[in-house]
Chain A
Amino acid sequence: DSGVTQTPKHLITATGQRVTLRCSPRSGDLSVYWYQQSLDQGLQFLIHYYNGEERAKGNILERFSAQQFPDLHSELNLSSLELGDSALYFCASSVDLSEQFFGPGTRLTVL
């Protein structure tokens, strides 16, 4: 158990819908990262927040957005969902810029 929690574990929804994924980092970690893992793309970096501020963006679609709240938990919002958005979404946290500890993931299925 890494200490990073993610909810929900599974999410099934339809195309065009909007969903919110939630992440709570390890106690004391100020950085939260979001990654997407699909069979054809592997594990891809989406976005990094540090103490509430956005610090880096990867190839994150405009339909996706994230934020980190004052209590340090983070949410990833995915809108206008498409079939290709089906994937595992992982949150990771770190105390500094060294090793990142990953949560168990949210499996998103878009039908």
Chain B
Amino acid sequence: EDQVTQSPEALRLQEGESSSLNCSYTVSGLRGLFWYRQDPGKGPEFLFTLYSAGEEKEKERLKATLTKKESFLHITAPKPEDSATYLCALSRTDSWGKLQFGAGTQVVVTP
């Protein structure tokens, strides 16, 4: 059975204190690994898609990487506006777009 596990569950950072979030997964036939950001009571906001091991993508202070078993979301010099829940999700090659989400990592960045 496919599994998506995110750690830690919660992370509290000082502004400027870089850190990494982990998303470990097991799946037969990975088509894509997705990262989303979600603010309380709002819809998830798309960040990145990674398709193959070794792939990296960057956007402002965020960088996502992918290996055969896990993905990392690195937050460099975070600001308070980076506070959110970060979700990873995977899709299978035979699933026609179904996303299976992890439980998320809640990040709080304090000034």
Q: Write the residues of chain A forming the contact surface with B, with a CB cutoff of 8 angstroms.
A: 2, 4, 31, 33, 35, 42-45, 48, 50, 55-56, 58, 88, 90, 92, 94, 97-105, 107
Contacts and interface: CB of A to CB of B under 8 A. Distances in A.
Given A88-B41, A104-B42, 11 more contacts: A2-B45, A50-B96, A58-B98, A90-B43, A90-B44, A94-B97, A98-B49, A100-B99, A102-B45, A105-B42, A105-B43
Contact of A101 (B46, B96, B102, B103): B46
A98 B99 CA distance: 10
Nearest to A46: B98
B78 interface: no
16 contacts: A4-B43, A42-B102, A43-B44, A44-B101, A50-B96, A55-B97, A56-B96, A88-B41, A92-B43, A94-B97, A97-B91, A97-B97, A99-B46, A100-B99, A104-B42, A105-B41
B28 interface: no
Pick the most buried of B101, B102, B103, B104: most chain A CB atoms within 10 A of its CB. Answer: B101
Interface string B71-111: 00000000000000001010100011111111110000000
Contacts of B25: none
Nearest to A94: B97
Contacts of A97: 31, 91, 96-97
Given A42-B103, A42-B104, A97-B91, A102 B96 contact: no
Contacts of A99: 34, 46, 49
B69 to A, nearest CB: 21
A100 B31 CA distance: 14
Contacts of A4: 43
B2 to A, nearest CB: 12
A58 B104 CA distance: 20
B95 A56 contact: yes
Contacts of B98: 33, 45, 48, 56, 58
A103 B38 CA distance: 12
Contacts of A105: 41-43
